[in-house]
Amino acid sequence: MLGDDVLYATASELGQRLRLRQISPVELTESYLARIEALDPKLHAFVTPTPKLALEQARQAEKEIAAGKYRGPLHGLPYGVKDLLATKGIRTTWGARPFEGQTFDFDATVIERLRAAGAILLGKLAMIELAGGLGYSIPGASLTGATLNPWSLDRWTCGSSSGSGAAVSAGLASFAIGSETWGSIVCPSSFCGVSGIRPTFGRISRYGAMALSWTLDKLGPMARSAEDLDTLLAVLSGHDPLDDWSASEPPHRPLPPARAKGLKAALVRPDYSKGGEAEVGVTFDNAVTALKSAGMAIDEVKLPDLPFEEVATVMLTVEAASAFEDLFRDGRVRGLVDRASALAAGNARLVTGVDYVKASRIRTLCQKAMRDFFDKWDVLLTPGEPVTAFPANMSYEEAEKEQWPDPVGGMGNLCGLPAVSVPCGFAKNLPVGLCIVGGAFEEGKVLGVAKYFQTLTDWHRKRPPLA
Amino acid sequence: MVSETKPQMTRREVGRLLLSVPAATLIIAEARADEGPSETAEFLAAHEPGLSPDERERLRKGFVDEEKALRVVREFNLAPNVTPSLRFHALASGK
């Protein structure tokens, strides 16, 4: 079996070694499967491991690479996928009891693209039930219970891409696919100390993905470095006629880290007096100082004074209630873990059609304001989350007391803008993320700054203290 | 051309509402002591099918914060030429 140094290598490093036949896809896959078997009982990152399929795909990759049929930088790389993407013949639970036995007869576009690139599917990853679409209050709101944080097993990973964060952080896969409607990639990336990107809305096809909010859902990769995210985004992005909302913009083009140094960055600092942990602020400030010291121009600014969060709330509430209307109608909502779920339809009923259209019109203003903002600045810097991972066994009563501001998340998701979270240090011995947001379809800049940061620091190389 | 109504909620208050946001879903909406749900909200809470008395009460309290977000949207002044961000395309036939 391969050791931790190999299993924790970045996807880019592993890809290079696979291409040069220094390691074998079969050996690499077997090593990850063994690690999953040993560690996942502690973490609950996987819903459905797929060892048989993984070994079949690994053997095929080995044959192809040996025969000189190299498919590209993902060939032979084992990965996991959030369990809201359809996989032919393998159950797709959406993290929810009512869908525990659900199986599709087709693969999601993302799965197809990864298979075509020669990547190896290790299994389906745990998630918050229905990606939190009907609300959730506790970390355990999932078919498989709370996913535990590899950095401290009494802490949560955040959600809803819980298993994706844990699997990458614990070295159970070389990369993972997650999804974000609002915070579901950025938060677990921050809590678990991994690199994750929420791409521009429409950048990656959602065909075959569970729909929670048609105007807010995005899929994105999580990995061990920003360079890996660059590679993954290049493979996953591109128009898909099967997704009506798939964008037709030119493919993602990576920006060399050295060029990112010359970009202009805006800094949006959370108001810790309204929530969050001051220790996170210190760690984040150190990250900003590292970028400034290296020559990057950074100005502290405020977001345009627009109701980003209120508008997103109204639209999301209604779209989610529509997406899962059948669950209310036939009573299956009672099969969900979280007690908030049963109330979601009632919440949505308060919003009228006029409210929804009005919210959509205000959204237009918000988009234009942020387009102007990113005409002035190339990227925006803010903490991934202003808090560190919190206890995994919180009760409803304890959860009621948890509050923290999210000044940029509402804006970024409402406007469909890309954001990456990369590890930038620790607070209370738990990971802290540096979040870099950019203009629409400007993932090159966002990832360029992230890569530049990772040339200056080695936080992304830190490993959790797992046995 | 467009006059904007400033949000009447703090971000923290809004955060309490969000249902699918990890940053906010850990927060269950609670009623503020100084204001209650509107008559519409009271009606909806009373008539929402299939809820237990406890759930009905939590829904009623939750409406207080839900209505704060709605108030911000409803009171926001927009020029008539601001169009929705939703996309509609006429579908051509395949002929």
Instruction: Give the pLDDT of residue A272.
Output: 80
> Can you read off the two tokens belonging to residue A396?
């409803």
Residues of chain A with pLDDT under 70: 400, 403-405, 467
Q: Which residue of B has its CA nearest to A309?
A: B14
pLDDT tens, residue by residue, A19-53: 999 999 999 999 999 999 999 999 999 999 999 99
Instruction: Give the pLDDT of residue A184.
Output: 96
Residues 250-309 of A with CB under 8 A from B: 274-275, 305-307, 309
Q: Quote the pTM value.
A: 0.93
> Can you read off the two tokens belonging to residue A190?
């921050």
CB A343 to CB B62 under 8 A?
Answer: yes
Beta bridge partners of A88: A104
Instruction: Give the pLDDT of residue A39.
Output: 98
> Which ipTM did the prediction report?
0.87
Asked whether residue B5 carries a pLDDT value surpassing 70, the answer given is no
A-interface mutation test, from B14, B65, B73, most A Cβ less than 10 A away: B73
Instruction: Give the pLDDT of residue B93.
Output: 85
Distance CA A267, CA A265 (A): 6
A-interface mutation test, from B8, B19, B71, most A Cβ less than 10 A away: B19
> Can you read off the two tokens belonging to residue A436?
């870099």
CB B72 to CB A307 under 8 A?
Answer: yes
Instruction: Give the pLDDT of residue B22.
Output: 38
pLDDT tens, residue by residue, A242-268: 999 999 998 888 999 989 989 999 999
CB B84 to CB A367 under 8 A?
Answer: no
Instruction: Give the pLDDT of residue B26.
Output: 32
Instruction: Give the pLDDT of residue A96.
Output: 97
Instruction: Give the pLDDT of residue B21.
Output: 40
B65 pLDDT band, cuts 50/70/90, is: confident
Average pLDDT, chain A: 95
Instruction: Give the pLDDT of residue A403.
Output: 66
Instruction: Give the pLDDT of residue B17.
Output: 40
Sign of the Cα pseudo-torsion (A57, A70, A117, A257, in order): positive
CB B28 to CB A340 under 8 A?
Answer: yes
Residues of A assigned a catalytic role: 82, 160, 184
Instruction: Give the pLDDT of residue A467.
Output: 57
Residues 67-96 of A with CB under 8 A from B: none
Phi, psi of A422 (to 5 degrees): -125, 150
